[in-house]
Structure 1
Amino acid sequence: MKALPGVLLVLAAGLCVAAEPERAPIEAVTADGYPVRLFPNGRWVFVDTEKAEVARKIAAEYPENKVRNAEAQGGLFGVGRTVMPGDKDYNRGSLNPKLR
């Protein structure tokens, strides 16, 4: 019974966070004069679709932007080894002989 106020407080805080209104992107201009769209999560894109496509292709070359393949196994929350399809350890199952 003593935990009930704490649970209610957590639920109320969750409702307050969920009720926060969605913020729209902000239109801005870079120092070079290119119009960009700034999103609340810190991401930004060029308004000009051709310039945005060129920037997307350049950004795809950086290793930190290469994401895990959807078919890959492992790598829980970005920690640990990610096993890609075609690897000898892909879908190998348990190493315990009793479970094979």
Structure 2
Amino acid sequence: MRKPRDIDAELKALQEKAKQLKAQRTIQLGELVEVTGADTLSIEALAGVLLAAVEQADGKPEAVARWTERGESFFQTGGKKGNRKGTGNDQSGASGA
């Protein structure tokens, strides 16, 4: 006869795994902010940039495509800050279109 599954234990294990993955994602997002140099912005400015990007992403898929290309390039070069284009004058950033 087969042993019954302990659904409660399995559910608890899955919830714990989800919690660990969420914590890992939060850490990785923080690391991304640091490696891109965005940690030099005030928290308000960083929030504004991200909000603008989210708003722009809804209506301008071509902007998301450009951001994706820049991100891929950034990671392919090892995430070196020196490979960032411009210092805010680049129109492919969150505030540009």
TM-score (norm 2): 0.33
Give the structure with the higher percent strand.
Answer: 1
With CA pairs under 8 Å and 6+ residues apart, which has the higher RCO, 1 or 2? 2
* Max Rg structure: 1
